[in-house]
Structure 1
């Protein structure tokens, strides 16, 4: 997919064939979330095809140089080094937050523009960076909306079953800080010391009315969800997955009816506009299934970078200096970047946020439970 690339000459353009190249990072093999990576890449590839059908970048074809991160931060950092040497004009993509953080650190150090598609961790960089921008809402924004949904549904004693990770720890902190002043209590269950059965016992002992799965998919999230669903003591408990595990078809394939009615965050408007509708139809054809919000993020990433490349060429410094000038119609609203307090990157504030679940009567259908469509305002 990467084609022939020169290691010398103008960054982003192979002097032999004039192609404009963008590096693309995605988790395409285990332990990465392959389904998310496949959707992310499908969106990026569709956008590249449409850019080229419309004449490319000032007559030059746009090409992705794809690297598999496999959810490994070290592998991602090495890929950024390689792509920088190969002369890509910019970086795009990545799904896993901890991996995106490693990629962002290297991109910042090397002076390589990076538009992060899907990772939400607030601290994507350790210090403010002129080189990094992001489409996905910050975790503190989306997860507060999720916490408000829990409160509105009457949940005050909320258990979080969490694996050790910066991402999960950050999510737990957002929930705790937002819920506590509003009368909510977070009961933490450390999955390093728990089995699915002991998680059930902890829920009963803690009188929790909701359990949030801050854990990897498929395991241990699937085993815990199945165990909770089948424990008669927990017949009334809500299972939630704010990180979005139920977004993908693999969730339903693994859990069947047990995977329905699990609220999660997704980053789509309640209704897509003409561009989003057209892109959704094309993505459905490429994926042979319903496109996730991650596929739309991938498309929007390339759409933004293509406009920046048309306006500023392949000079990395000029590209990075132009985040504030971006105004691109994306599949989920008009995309503009700004500096947001407490975030060190250029941020689209904000992509639309929904809390949804799968309809138990029709698991292929999503029900919108709460919506914060900031992009429409």
Structure 2
């Protein structure tokens, strides 16, 4: 069952018909629920986490004990996430889960590793979530190096070799630019970086004309400065044939369409869903739609799968933190998007689901509420 948060709004508990109390098995949940975090993504992530926790409790909990989520709002702040991990560890949670923003997840993972607290990262993609390989952290989302390589493959397949990226300062954006450049340059592509600290949307248009780019990728926040850039490019007759892309997934959420109307259609982005959900995924998708009042994003499914994995581990190995961490390589559960197992992937410092489905999709210009699959791949 859900209990009201304290006045600060920092804590929420999730469950259902099993009554939470002293005997609960507690999982800490890190989600961005307030700005400057991407609150819409956080709401979808939390909806998946809570729906799965409710399903676990309807099925009897963890060996008869209720599963309880203890939610902390990271607000996209790495320092706040680190403090939350410290607090959750002190509260005796069996594990920590969640987070959407990669830089925040890296701070949380680093702290969880130092404390010996299992952390299952739901949705962040930076390859190096920790500086050194760790046994304490596992991840469901694909590493950025793989996802953005898939996006680069899509660009090449669509005939784009002169790429411009409108980027803000961030480890995440800089890493994405490097992945694109490393993949495109040996294949005859070029990547021109446009520093959004110095350029207005109108100046971006001029730079695109000068560089003769055929594709502009938005490595920036939403709504600012993404929305003004899109509107400016769409209205510039010199750029009528340019493709606008957003590999980080900004168009996934309804506010993209609300902000941009038809201008937001036809903007390819990365999404971590299969072409067909599992039977569990189909049922969960309907329940998430009812809970959210809109179509669930891939982030909501990531949240649900996170609890599916942790519940399986806790049932099989108990709530001891060391035993949970030892169980990552033995996980084999069917989630909403496929069979989930963790392995060691070269260049990735945490236990990684190596079967994450990856798509490049866009919103159909003829029906912006409908997504078109443009390219798909499965993590190798």
Both proteins in one fold, TM over 0.5: yes
Q: Is contact 1:137-1:349 (8 Å) kept? A: yes
Map of 1:72 onto structure 2: 77
Match of 1:285 in 2: 290
Partner of 1:118: 123
Q: 1:95 aligns with which of 100, 111, 116?
A: 100
CA shift for structure 1 position 123: 1.1
Paired residue for 2:173?
A: 168
Deviation at 1:271, TM superposition (A): 1.1
Which residue does 1:250 correspond to in 2?
Answer: 255
Distance 1:171 1:307 in 2: 33
Q: Where does residue 22 of structure 2 map in the other structure?
A: 17
Distance in 2 (alpha carbons) for counterparts of 1:298 and 1:256: 28
> Over aligned residues, Cα RMSD in angstroms?
1.4
CA drift of 1:374 comes to: 4.6
Out of 337, 340, 348, the position equivalent to 2:342 is 337
Contact 1:156 1:184 in 2 (8 A): yes
Q: In the TM superposition, what is the alpha-carbon distance from 1:2 to its structure 2 partner?
A: 7.0
1:295 to 296, 300, 317: 300
- 1:214-293 matches, within 5 Å, as 214-293=219-298
Match of 1:358 among 354, 363, 374: 363
Contact between 1:2 and 1:65, CA under 8 Å: does it hold in 2?
A: no
SS in structure 1 of the partner of residue 286 of structure 2: helix
Rounded to whole Å, the distance in 2 between the matches of 1:83 and 1:303 is: 20
Q: 1:194 aligns with which of 187, 196, 199?
A: 199
Superimposed CA distance per residue, residues 11-53 of structure 1 (whole angstroms, 9 cap, x where no aligned partner): xxx9963100000000000000000000000000000000000
TM-score normalised to structure 2 length:
0.95
Partner Cα separation in structure 2 for residue 217 and residue 94 of structure 1:
18
SS in 2 for 1:65: strand
| 1:373 Cα offset (Å) | 3.5
Identify the match of residue 177 of structure 1 among 174, 182, 186: 182
Q: Secondary structure at the match of 2:79?
A: helix
Give the aligned length. 366
Q: Is the 8 A contact 2:20 2:68 kept in 1?
A: no
SS in structure 2 of the partner of residue 67 of structure 1 = strand
Q: Is the 8 A contact 2:20 2:67 kept in 1?
A: no
Structure 2 Cα separation of the partners of residues 374 and 341 of structure 1: 13
What is the rounded CA distance, in whole Å, between the counterparts of 1:213 and 1:194 in structure 2? 13
Displacement of 1:126: 0.4
1:270-322 residue CA offsets vs partner (Å, 9 max, x unmatched): 11121110000000000000000000000000000000000111100000011
Residue in 1 that maps onto 2:12: none
Cα deviations across residues 194-213 of structure 1 (Å, max 9, x unaligned)? Answer: 11111111100000000000
Partner SS state of residue 177, structure 2? helix
Corresponding residue for 1:146? 151
Structure 2 residue aligned with 1:11? none
Kept in 1, the 8 Å contact 2:27–2:94? The answer is yes
Single out whichever of 29-38 and 267-276 deviates more from structure 2: 267-276
Q: Which runs of 5+ in 1 are unaligned?
A: 5-13
Rounded to whole Å, the distance in 2 between the matches of 1:16 and 1:100 is 29
Deviation digits for residues 61-83 of structure 1 (CA, Å, limit 9, x no counterpart) = 00100000000000000000000
1:3 is displaced (CA, Å) by 8.0
1:15–1:211 CA distance, 2 compared to 1 (3 A): closer
2:118–2:136 CA contact under 8 A, matched in 1: yes
Equivalent residue number for residue 55 of structure 1: 60
CA contact (8 A) 1:159 1:188 kept: yes
Structure 1 stretches of 4+ with a deviation exceeding 6 A read: none
- Which sections of structure 2, spanning at least 5 residues, go unmatched? 6-18
